Chain A
């Protein structure tokens, strides 16, 4: 298997404070990679650094092309769809407008209408709320909208920052099921940050553990699941 996203020696800082101290990881074509770590470890910053939303140094390659010097918009247009922490919903626009915006950065914008219908099939809850202001959706519906919006880009890589945050187990299960379906049917690779380590390791094929801005462990998800330290600190048994 070849890597779709390859990151090495990635450093990122907010102002003078360096937060990531040179980390490396990869997402394989068609694979799911999970980033684990405690609060404040630098997971969100890692995703932001990959997408050029924070000042960063290092070597980031997407489909073989260097993207560590590119602007966020340009990276999105290459096919990287990022659902940020907090979901990034356009709260004063309608559900449908949110989906249209999602398709703005792709080349074949004409085909977006068909994809929109496909999204409504994946997420029937959204179909009944096309004209509703997105800010008035429930948390779970907003998360579905955020993922649907990202998929409208027809991305090769889907970047998700804590998709389960604040949601009940039923909704989380359905969102993870949809992610699995999307990966299989559309061959979208996924880079996932998730608090729920058990769930993430279940879904992912590769996983990495970040502690205070450094990568301390990485490998096949199964190996991490069986690791003593991971079990005690993140899986809780």
Chain B
């Protein structure tokens, strides 16, 4: 029983990381209708920035906040410089651009920081809490993610800017007619997605360690979470990410060798999608024919 609780809680902690990245994917998807394959590498790059800042002597939380800010600006710049020019191009062009971005970020990180694995500090105590039910790090990750999600929710729900961003993603033409600067809203969406990814990267780095390929697996799980919850639903993507995290942990502990847990988790998700293609919480896309 305690082992089960342990496994579930530690799954929730990993799931929180998947959920954050899944949310970042959904935010971009809602605005551009394509999946940002570079989201994981962007998060990886942000994590290296945090590492650099910590190495330079900044206290962890100062480095964390500064990283989030830098990532936001980086996301805005990526949208303005790389994504904007292909905005009206077909989806395949987006895919190529995003994959190009992935490769470039990976190579640049490798070039600057080398491919040797680095340790990344955790700001949380590593000792077990509540009679061993959860480690300090896992609890910290869950709390930070929860705080971030609530902030985002409040921003989109209660501020005029958040509403304008939702409007711009939903119906750009109408948003322009209301005087909303749609181009900037999309850029801010990229900034926020990059910031959310940065949080995910920094939270997972103490466990995965730092190297330019650290996020490739995480991105896959996040993608699975987003699809499972429904790529059209931010809340669904978060729940999907959490489910994937817990599932992955339970499958790896109880059912099969951990080498197979990724395939098993993905097989389960494919099964769900076969039964319910729009994901658990997604809207069914109505196509006019």
Contacts and interface: CB of A to CB of B under 8 A. Distances in A.
Interface of A: 51, 53, 71-73, 76-77, 81-82, 84, 88-93, 97, 100-102, 104-106, 109, 149, 153
Nearest to A109: B160
Nearest to B174: A88
B210 to A, nearest CB: 39
B160 A153 contact: no
Contact of B176 (A76, A91, A100, A102): A76
A77 B174 CA distance: 13
B178 A76 contact: yes
Contacts, number: 66
B177 A88 contact: yes
A89 to B, nearest CB: 7
B182 A73 contact: yes
Given A88-B171, A90-B167, A93-B170, 8 more contacts: A53-B173, A73-B179, A76-B177, A77-B179, A84-B177, A93-B163, A101-B164, A104-B178
A90 B160 contact: no
B170 A104 contact: no
Nearest to A51: B177
Contacts of B176: 53, 71-73, 76
Given A84-B173, A104-B160, A109-B160, A93 B167 contact: yes
B175 A101 contact: yes
17 contacts: A51-B177, A53-B173, A53-B176, A73-B180, A73-B182, A76-B177, A77-B179, A82-B177, A90-B167, A90-B174, A93-B170, A97-B167, A100-B163, A101-B163, A104-B180, A106-B179, A149-B178
Contacts of B137: none
B166 interface: yes
Contact of B179 (A76, A84, A90, A93): A76
A93 B180 contact: no
Contacts of B84: none
Nearest to A100: B163
Interface residues of B, number: 17
A105 B180 contact: yes
A112 to B, nearest CB: 9
Contacts of B167: 90, 93, 97, 101, 104
A210 to B, nearest CB: 22
A77 B181 CA distance: 10
Contacts of A72: 173, 176-177
Nearest to B232: A92
B185 to A, nearest CB: 10
B112 to A, nearest CB: 39
Contacts of A53: 173, 176-177
A153 B178 contact: yes
Contacts of B160: 100, 104, 109
Contact of B178 (A71, A92, A105): A105
Nearest to A159: B177
Given A90-B167, A93-B167, A109-B160, A101 B180 contact: yes
Contacts of B173: 53, 72, 84, 88
A97 B178 CA distance: 12
A70 to B, nearest CB: 11
A76 B174 CA distance: 11
B174 A73 contact: no
Nearest to B166: A93
